Amino acid sequence: NAGVTQTPKFQVLKTGQSMTLQCAQDMNHNSMYWYRQDPGMGLRLIYYSASEGTTDKGEVPNGYNVSRLNKREFSLRLESAAPSQTSVYFCASSRTGGPGETQYFGPGTRLLVL
């Protein structure tokens, strides 16, 4: 099993450009998450999907949109990138999204917005 995969690994954008970060999991998990990690900070939740067909805002959703394409895939879209969105983005999944569950993380996407 590959676990959680993310593409691309690195991306450089110019201000105003758009892009979609892709995430897929092969563990048959119901819940998926998008986080961003900035230097010296922990992870902050952008959006999550408790189950296929549902998405909800996390702590820092502004400037992002998400799509839960199917049970396996959860994408994050930046419609008009800004330098403040320079960060490392992590996707994660968990079995049911219940309290106390382990989250499984992908390797991350490093995004630089110029």
- Are 111 and 24 contacting, i.e. CB atoms less than 8 angstroms apart? no
- Does 105 interact with other proteins (rule: CB under 8 A)? yes
The single-letter code of the amino acid at 61 is: P
* Cα–Cα separations (whole angstroms), residue 43 to 2, 52, 83: 22, 23, 18
The single-letter code of the amino acid at 110 is: R
Nearest in space to 27 (alpha carbons), one of 10, 5, 7: 5
User: In whole angstroms, how close is the CB of 40 to other proteins at the nearest point?
Assistant: 6
- Does 31 interact with other proteins (rule: CB under 8 A)? yes
- Does 24 interact with other proteins (rule: CB under 8 A)? no
Which residue's CB is nearer to other proteins, number 67 or number 104?
104
Q: For the chain, what percentages of helix, strand and coil (3-state, to nearest 5) are there? A: 5, 50, 45
User: In whole angstroms, how close is the CB of 107 to other proteins at the nearest point?
Assistant: 5
User: In whole angstroms, how close is the CB of 106 to other proteins at the nearest point?
Assistant: 5
Which residue's CB is nearer to other proteins, number 72 or number 95?
95
Which residue ranges make up the site for other proteins (CB under 8 A)? 4, 31, 33, 35, 40-45, 48, 50, 56, 58-59, 90, 92, 94, 96-108
